[in-house]
Amino acid sequence: MGVLAEVYEKLNTCGKCGFCHGACKTYKNDGAEFLVARGRVQLIKALADGKVEADDDYEDAVNSCLLCGECAVACPSGVRGHELVLAARRDLKLRHGVKPFLKSVALKSLAKPGVLKFGFGFLAGTGKSVLKKVDALQFVRGIDIYTMPAAKVPFSKQVPEIITVPNPKKKVAFFVGCFMNHAFVSSAHSIVKVLTKNDCEVIVPKDQVCCGLPQYVYGDFEQAKVQMTKIINTFSKYDYVITGCASCASMLKKEVIELFHGDASMLPKAEAFTKKCYEFSEFVVNELDIADKLQNETPVSVTLHDPCHMVRYNSLTAEPRSLLKSVPRLNFVEMFEANRCCGAAGLVMAFYHEMSEKITAQKAQNIMNTGADIVATSCPACMLKINSGLRLKGSNVEVKHVADVLAAALN
């Protein structure tokens, strides 16, 4: 049975009411029917019925989806449009592989730690100095290359495999994730500081690989399985596995079950593994007692951006807010549409950058309207995209991980 045949009945549940139009950011930017869940679902159904071809226009409709999940929240019929788009992408992968070629290269590169290390190392070294000689290259596809963090040495190589503390109360394995390992290294150090200051021994396994989410969302289940199998084998021995990336958390806690659906040998291991996995703020709120240790002499105003994988995939919205509000002299300001997509959406920001920039510009404006000094979030990709959006608007609002704000308040 083909992928679309498996979801065919779900395709038929769309009542064509159009409630998704008010929720979909891609539709709001363009107004084209193929850029909203209703249109995408009808296109996918038409392909399943043999009425259209899987041509470039069809692929654009499917691949430009942010997978933010907002359409599912708005749908009165319970249609989960983003999940049907995932099925369509899987179908495309099985038909002719991942297109275009550069996207295929990007996904293969993410699966190879050595390639990532070389790429970010080059950017941290001579890469930026070369780019800065060409003024027109500061913003590349909406990303501020000049301010983009890049580490010559990945975080996992900067720290020992076991970071000890006297009389540890918990032993925690840290799944770093690609972007935090190679770009937002300071945020990874902040996570370690918060954990160690709260009597946690931190283990940073050296043979970490990408969680497989980028490959998974473009239908390459085979490669994603290779990566997740290695992760499960490496991390299952630990009682707690935490990550500071909302997207990685979603893969480790949720998508891994769908990935190994029907695999009798791996599914039980995956199910047991998910029970050990925590997103950073989730772990701190549920497992640690941190409030009494926080100090802050300088008043600061902070707002919060909810990554899509936090709010609609993992239902984690109260936890980061609770942590930020526990910091003394921190004025928390709620942002308008805090839970709306920032436009990053993985490789969407690279291959549909004009659409992505418009979405990011609105998010940046919402942040600026709060008057906050800092916008905190829980996703390195969101941090990158929001920082670029703010810089394009000439704003000096600082973009920080939730862990950065907490670490700064710990002696």
Which residue would you say has higher pLDDT here, 92 or 136? 92
Mean pLDDT of the region 343-348: 92
Q: What is the CATH number of the domain that holds 300?
A: 3.40.50.10700
pLDDT at 135 over 70: no
Examine the pLDDT at 144 and tell me if it is beyond 90: no
Q: Within a domain: residue 248?
A: yes
Q: What is the pTM of this model?
A: 0.94
Helix axes 380-392, 353-370, angle to 10 degrees: 80
Q: Counting beta carbons within 10 angstroms of the beta carbon of residue 51, is it exposed (0 to 12), middle (13 to 18) or buried (19 or more)?
A: exposed
Q: What is the predicted pLDDT for the residue at 133?
A: 66
Residue 304 falls inside a structural domain? yes
Q: Which residues of 203-240 are buried (b: 16+ CB within 10 A; e: fewer)?
A: bbbeebbbbbbbbbbbbbbebbbebbbebbebbeebeb
Given a contact cutoff of 8 angstroms between Cβ atoms, the answer to whether 56 and 183 are in contact is no
User: Is residue 315 assigned to a domain?
Assistant: yes
User: Same domain, yes or no, for 282 and 294?
Assistant: no
Q: Looking at the structure, tell me whether residues 272 and 160 fall in a common domain.
A: yes
* 296 touches 411 (CB < 8 A): no
Residue 157 in this model has a pLDDT that exceeds 90: yes
Q: What is the pLDDT of residue 110?
A: 87
Give the pLDDT mean for 243-260.
97
Question: Does residue 53 form part of some domain?
Answer: yes
> Which residue range forms the structural domain that includes residue 375?
290-408
pLDDT given for residue 123 in this prediction = 79
In tens, the pLDDT along 289-333 reads: 998 999 998 999 999 999 999 999 999 999 999 999 999 999 999
Task: Tell me, yes or no, whether 150 lies in a domain.
Answer: no
Residue 40's CATH number = 1.10.1060.10
Structure tokens at 129: 């100095």
Residue ranges of alpha helices (H) inside 183-220 are 185-196, 213-217
Domain boundary at 242, 269, 286, which? 286
For residue 277, being part of any structural domain is answered with yes
Same domain, 297 and 401: yes
Residue 84 confidence (pLDDT) above 80? yes
d(CA 286, CA 267): 26
391 shares a domain with 295: yes
* pLDDT at site 171: 97
Mean pLDDT of the chain: 93
| Residue 135 shares a structural domain with residue 25 | no
**Does the residue 118 lie in any domain?**
yes
pLDDT of the residue at 134 = 65
Look at residue 127 in the predicted model and tell me its pLDDT: 67
Binned at pLDDT 50, 70 and 90, residue 145 comes out as confident
Q: Are residues 217 and 331 in the same domain?
A: no
Higher pLDDT, 213 or 136: 213
At 340 the pLDDT is 95
Output the pLDDT for position 267. 97
Last residue of a domain, one of 268, 286, 304: 286
Which of 261, 286, 311 is the endpoint of a domain?
A: 286
Residue 131, judged by CB atoms within 10 A of its CB (0-12, 13-18, 19+), counts as: middle
CA–CA distance, 157 with 95 (Å, rounded to integer) = 39
Q: Please state the domain count of the chain.
A: 4
Q: Place 37 in a pLDDT band, splitting at 50, 70 and 90.
A: very high
82 and 110 inside one domain? no
Asked whether residue 165 falls in the same domain as residue 55, the answer is: no
Structure tokens at 208: 């970490």
Percentage, residues of the chain above pLDDT 90: 82
